[in-house]
Structure 1
Amino acid sequence: MRFTVINTFTLKNPADARDFEERFLTHVQWMRSRPGFVAHQAVRATEQPEVYVNFGWWEKPEDFQAVLASDTFKEHAEEFHKIVDVVADPSMGVLRLDSAAAREGDHLVVEFFTDNDPGAYRRYAEADGFVAADVAKSLFARPGGFTALTRWRSAEQAAAARAALVERAVPARPIAGNRAELTPAG
């Protein structure tokens, strides 16, 4: 699976949302041209609009490390830190599930959980309304923790399914990017 960087951005001042989104889109445009970049999906929490979460998929950790070392990335990061607090969670993609084609109006959720039962998430994904998920295991920030970007047909179906598995869920709406086509890591 892919190396995944999950960044949570929290606005220091909620009035800076437009400024952050513009800077973020410029930054992502640059990131897309970096070697090893696969795709990203940025979302904004609907119940906490000052919170954004970005899933970035890379071919391998070394590709992302090279980006972190660049002067351009350092300049972008310095600008971001003026308006947002950032929590980075380097992770490894461990599971990708698809049961239906995505469509406009699907309900997106960022889910945080600890999976002590390897089959639990697969059973969860069999619930009515499940569309797709990308699940990553935290490498450092949350030992034993997983984060998933999950797509459901409705908020009600997501809530009904998650009661037994998910510790914390953040309903979200897409801001930029798209889920990458599944291709073997090479």
Structure 2
Amino acid sequence: MSFTVINTFTLLDPGGAEEFEARFLAHVEWMRAQPGFVAHQAVRSVDRPEVYVNLGWWERPEDFQRVLASATFQSHAEEFHRIVAVEADPSMGIARFDGAPGEPDDVLFVDSFTVEGDATEAFVGAYQAHARAAAELDGFIAADLAKSLFARPGGFTALSRWRDAEAALAATGLPQYAALAALAEVRTVPATHVAGDRAELAPAGA
């Protein structure tokens, strides 16, 4: 699976969304041209609209590290830090699931999981079982799971996409979700699409 950079941006001034999004989209256009860049998806929290989350997929960690060290990236980062607080969570993709084709008005959810002790392997298996069951439901679009490499010990992030909130709620009623939730603390953030499309990724087996 691909190297995944998960960045959480929090506006220092809640009224600065327009400026941030303009700068971010310009930054992404530059990133798209860099060797090793695969795709990205940026979302905005529904409950906390000052918070954005971007998942960026790269072929290898080395590709991102090379970009990170560039003068252009450093200049963009300096601009961002004037308007947002940034939390970076370098991760590795663990699983990917695809359902129906996406639409512009789909709903998205970012789930942050924290797994204690030695339950990591069991958690990954439980997530895969839940995602496979959810993929059978009407309204499932896609899901990705990534494991934090060092910023969040025992941390996983999942991005899921649904036709509507009712479909997502139905998935939490599955017995596989109960098994998943028993293994990890979970924080769910409903979100709206900002830019990007993880569907640019080549399909990979879970």
Pairwise TM-score range, normalised by the shorter structure: over 0.9
The answer to whether structure 1 residue 170 and structure 2 residue 176 are counterparts is: no
Question: Which residues of 2 match residues 10-29 of structure 1 at below 5 A?
Answer: 10-29=10-29
1:121 CA displacement: 1.5
Q: How many residues align?
A: 184
Query: Equivalent residue of 1:117, what SS?
Result: helix
Query: Equivalent residue of 2:48, what SS?
Result: coil
Looking at secondary structure, tell me which structure has more helix per residue: 2
**Which residue does the alignment assign to 1:61?**
61
Moved more, 139-148 or 71-80: 139-148
Q: TM-score, normalised by structure 1?
A: 0.92
Q: Hey, what's the Cα distance between the residues in 2 that align with 1:183 and 1:27?
A: 26
Match for residue 136 of structure 1 among 146, 155, 176 = 146
Contact 2:148/2:154 (8 A) holds in 1: yes
Query: Equivalent residue of 1:146, what SS?
Result: strand
Q: Which runs of 5+ in 1 are unaligned?
A: none
Q: Which runs of 5+ in 2 are unaligned?
A: none
1:104 CA displacement: 3.0
Query: Equivalent residue of 1:141, what SS?
Result: coil
Residues 13-34 of structure 1: CA deviation (Å, up to 9, x unaligned) = 1100000000000100110111
The answer to whether structure 1 residue 76 and structure 2 residue 86 are counterparts is: no
Contact 2:11/2:50 (8 A) holds in 1: yes
Contact 2:95/2:128 (8 A) holds in 1: no
Q: TM-score, normalised by structure 2?
A: 0.84
1:117 CA displacement: 3.2
**Which residue does the alignment assign to 1:38?**
38
**Which residue does the alignment assign to 2:158?**
148
Q: Tell me the C-alpha RMSD between the 2 structures.
A: 1.6
Residues 127-162 of structure 1: CA deviation (Å, up to 9, x unaligned) = 323221111100011112110110122212213423
The answer to whether structure 1 residue 118 and structure 2 residue 127 are counterparts is: no
Q: Hey, what's the Cα distance between the residues in 2 that align with 1:142 and 1:98?
A: 26
Q: Hey, what's the Cα distance between the residues in 2 that align with 1:159 and 1:183?
A: 26
**Which residue does the alignment assign to 2:95?**
95
Q: Hey, what's the Cα distance between the residues in 1 that align with 2:124 and 2:196?
A: 29
Q: Give the partner amino acid of 1:27.
A: H
Identity %: 63
Change (3 A) 1:122 1:130: farther
